Structure formats: structure tokens, C-alpha cells
């Protein structure tokens, strides 16, 4: 495997993100909104950062009641739960941008200061820093292999959805195998010298491992079609990924699910982070759902049908 290729990209990404954050934190009142917009534009233009922000943006609280509470109580009334606090802060930041509301104007209801530059700095410390730190912490937690899987997921959904769905549809009996090969070929191109989950290559040459000095990857690939390959099929994949982690003495394993159904596949896990994960038997299983269904309408206009797979179901013996 190419050493630290993914980690170098993550280090560079964090460095640029820190620079953009500092631009915001050291803003004067007249440059505050502009720098805040640039920060979020940077995130929107990066695959990894955008995926983290999209996950964080789910179920954002309404900002107007939050602002009303701030004005009435004259203090920052935010949820005590860390994740909900971050989402509340993000909601307020988006409100500032959309309504062209200056940060110092909101902070004036809380702070004793009357200097608008000081109020701007205090507002960003209160509402921007939690969001920035959350995003940065999510990047830190992404190792090289997770980085590759996230990029693969976004690549499939953004650029190759129709092509991959058609490949699956041409021969559904081999669809899972064909998509599995595409994923592993991608991982090989990223520098994973032996991107297979079993101690033999497709040609059966087991001794290849002694040459490249790399263990098999604890990675399981499954199809979800909402019919014959649904909950039980995904649970089987979860168990297989866990077995790989145990067999190869790996701390983590990965379950990649290609969703070819019209359902919005949702894993109801205690972990709300991206990527989602489930800890069991001292192992961590990461979940990646890749939606390949070619919807005719955008997500905002179609009637989403949710298909849930719960943590309790996955852990059921």
C-alpha cells in the first residue's frame, strides 16, 4: 500500500480548513459574513468535508426560536447535548448567511460589550467554533482506508450512479459480484496492494500474500434491493465483516452496501456520526450505504420511502 497517501491528503485538508477558520475567527464586523460564506463554500467544494456537513445538517433545529430565546433570556440558550448543540450553532450560522444577519447583532443581546468588532469575535467563539471543531474532529477520525471508502461512495453517487445501476441490472445474479470487483479495483488503484477479503487472489494464488506482506482487507460487500436481498442479507454481511475482523485480528471492519432499490436505506444505530459505526466484541464495524437507484426526481421533490435496519436487528443472534 502507498504509505500515508490518504493521510497526507487529510493533513493537507485540515491545514486549509484551519486557515479558512482563522479567516472567520479574526474577521472584523465588515468582513465577517463574507469570510463565513467563503468557509462554507470551501466545505461545499470538497467531497469529504461536504459529506460531513451534509450528515451534520440533518434535522437542524429552526433558528428563529433559538434567536428568540437568546433575545428573551439575554444569554446563549443552546442544547446541552454536544451533537445537538453543534447542530443548533450550524443552524444559526446558516441563518446569518441566508438572512444577511450580522453575527454582532445577535451577540449584542448576550454580551455586555458595545464594540461591534468585539461582538463579532464573541459571536464566532460562541457559534462558529463548535461547528468548526466538530468538522475538524470528524476529519481526524478518518483513517486512510475510510478516506478511500468515502471518496468511492461519493464518486459512485455523484458521477457513476446510472452506469453502475445499469451494470447491476443487466445481470442481477452477478450484480453483487460485479460491483464488488469495481470497489476492489478502485481500492487497488488507490494503493491497496491486496484489496481482497480472503487469503487468496481470484486466481487462487495464496502465496501472493507472502510477497506483498499485506493482510486481507476486512471488507464485506452486499446488495440491498428491498426484496430478496434486504434486512437478513445485510445482517449476514454485518456478521461476515465482524468475522473478518476477528480472523485477521483487525480492530475494524467495513460493510459496503450498494442500494439498488427505490428505498432510502437508513441504519438506525446509536452512532450518529459519519461514517456510521457499530462496536461489538471489541471490534468496530463501519457502514457505507451507496445509493445507485436512478431517481427521476431530486431528493427534495420525490416521495422518500424509508427502509430502516436497526442496531437491535443487526445484533440479534
Name the residue with higher pLDDT: 64 or 194. Answer: 64
Q: Is the pLDDT of residue 205 over 60?
A: no
Domain boundaries defined on the chain: 5-140, 144-315
CA–CA distance, 203 with 197 (Å, rounded to integer): 14
**How many CB atoms are located within 10 Å of the residue 286 CB?**
22
**pLDDT at residue 12, as a whole number:** 87
Mean pLDDT along residues 204-230? 72
**pLDDT at residue 209, as a whole number:** 38
Query: Strand, coil or helix: what is 153?
Result: helix
Lowest mean pLDDT among 2-11, 214-223, 272-281: 2-11
C-alpha cell recorded at residue 4: 500515508
Per-residue pLDDT band for 217 (boundaries 50, 70, 90) equals confident
Q: Where do we find the cell 445501476?
A: 165
C-alpha cell recorded at residue 111: 454580551
Helix/strand number for the chain, H first, E second: 14, 6
Query: Strand, coil or helix: what is 163?
Result: helix
Q: What's the predicted TM-score (pTM) here?
A: 0.65
Query: Strand, coil or helix: what is 51?
Result: helix
Per-residue DSSP letter, 280: E
Residue partners of 284: CB distance under 8 A and separation at least 6: 251, 252, 253, 277, 278
Per the rule left: phi > 0, alpha: psi between -120 and 50, beta: everything else, 97 is alpha
Task: For 76-101, write each residue's pLDDT tens digit.
Answer: 777 778 888 999 999 999 999 999 99
Closest CA to 176 of 228, 245, 109: 228
Task: For 127-162, write each residue's pLDDT tens digit.
Answer: 999 999 999 988 877 777 888 898 899 899 999 999
Q: Where do we find the cell 449476514?
A: 236
Task: For 235-289, write each residue's pLDDT tens digit.
Answer: 999 999 999 988 888 888 999 999 999 999 999 998 877 788 999 998 999 999 9
Amino acid at each position: 500500500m502507498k504509505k500515508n497517501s490518504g493521510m497526507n491528503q487529510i493533513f493537507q485538508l485540515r491545514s486549509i480548513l484551519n486557515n479558512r477558520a482563522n479567516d472567520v475567527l479574526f474577521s472584523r464586523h465588515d468582513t465577517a459574513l463574507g469570510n463565513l460564506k467563503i468557509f462554507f463554500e470551501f466545505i461545499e467544494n470538497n467531497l469529504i468535508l461536504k459529506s460531513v456537513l451534509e450528515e451534520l445538517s440533518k434535522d437542524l433545529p429552526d433558528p428563529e426560536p433559538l434567536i428568540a430565546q437568546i433575545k428573551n433570556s439575554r444569554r446563549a440558550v443552546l442544547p446541552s447535548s454536544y451533537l445537538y448543540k453543534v447542530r443548533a450553532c450550524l443552524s444559526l450560522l446558516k441563518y446569518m448567511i441566508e438572512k444577511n444577519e450580522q453575527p454582532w447583532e445577535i451577540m449584542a443581546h448576550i454580551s455586555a460589550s458595545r464594540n461591534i468588532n468585539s461582538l463579532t469575535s464573541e459571536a464566532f467563539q460562541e457559534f462558529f467554533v463548535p461547528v468548526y471543531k466538530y468538522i475538524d474532529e470528524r476529519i481526524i477520525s478518518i483513517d486512510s482506508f475510510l478516506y478511500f471508502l468515502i471518496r468511492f461512495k461519493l464518486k459512485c453517487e455523484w458521477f457513476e450512479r446510472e452506469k453502475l445501476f445499469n451494470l447491476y441490472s443487466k445481470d442481477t445474479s452477478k450484480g453483487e459480484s460485479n460491483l464488488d470487483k469495481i470497489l476492489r479495483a478502485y481500492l487497488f488503484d488507490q494503493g491497496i496492494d491486496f484489496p481482497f477479503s480472503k487469503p487468496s487472489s481470484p486466481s487462487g494464488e495464496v502465496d501472493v500474500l507472502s510477497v506483498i506482506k499485506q493482510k486481507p482487507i476486512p471488507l464485506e460487500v452486499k446488495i440491498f434491493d428491498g426484496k430478496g436481498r434486504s434486512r437478513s442479507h445485510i445482517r449476514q454481511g454485518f456478521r461476515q465483516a465482524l468475522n473478518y475482523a476477528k480472523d485477521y485480528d483487525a480492530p475494524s471492519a467495513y460493510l459496503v452496501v450498494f442500494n439498488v432499490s427505490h428505498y432510502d436505506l437508513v441504519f438506525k444505530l446509536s452512532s450518529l456520526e459519519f461514517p456510521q459505526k457499530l462496536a461489538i466484541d471489541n471490534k468496530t464495524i463501519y457502514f457505507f450505504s451507496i445509493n445507485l437507484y436512478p431517481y427521476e426526481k431530486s431528493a427534495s421533490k420525490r416521495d422518500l420511502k424509508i427502509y430502516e435496519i436497526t442496531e437491535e436487528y443487526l445484533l440479534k443472534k
